[in-house]
Structure 1
């Protein structure tokens, strides 16, 4: 919900559309990293790291999830 004009000081402007886009992408990417870490770690514990090793497999989960959440937010 936008801030009413009477609550903002004279001459103040809100964030631009590009600023809102950047903030949404950063927030989505951060959430994606955390979700990717949780699900990646869970899958590595359950099924093993596979041929790529633990860190690379976890990184792939985190990067894929961050890209998905960052793009869609």
Structure 2
């Protein structure tokens, strides 16, 4: 008996664009978490600086999220 064709009866997998979107979202999420941990640690150790605590923490989180999400 011949083997069944690979595309018979099943759905196609995610497209390349869908895989890129998912990877970017996952990388961005991991980057935000790492940026939060690293930023909070630096704020506790060295103080928030002239920008204030929330703005400094946000800069760490956005920078890390953009790095990992790209």
CA displacement at 1:6 relative to structure 2: 7.8
Structure 1 residue ranges (4+ consecutive) displaced by more than 3 angstroms after TM superposition: 5-9
- Name whichever structure is richer in helix by fraction: 1
1:21 alignment partner in structure 2: 20
Q: Unpaired segments of 5 or more residues in structure 2?
A: none
Q: Structure 1 residue 69 and structure 2 residue 36: aligned?
A: no
Q: Unpaired segments of 5 or more residues in structure 1?
A: none
Question: Separation in 1 of the partners of 2:5 and 2:44?
Answer: 55
1:45 alignment partner in structure 2: 44
Question: Separation in 2 of the partners of 1:9 and 1:49?
Answer: 59
TM-score relative to the length of structure 2: 0.88
TM-score relative to the length of structure 1: 0.85
CA displacement at 1:7 relative to structure 2: 8.8
Given the superposition, is the C-alpha separation of residues 9 and 47 from structure 1 closer, same or farther in structure 2, using an over 3 Å criterion? farther
Given the superposition, is the C-alpha separation of residues 59 and 9 from structure 1 closer, same or farther in structure 2, using an over 3 Å criterion? farther
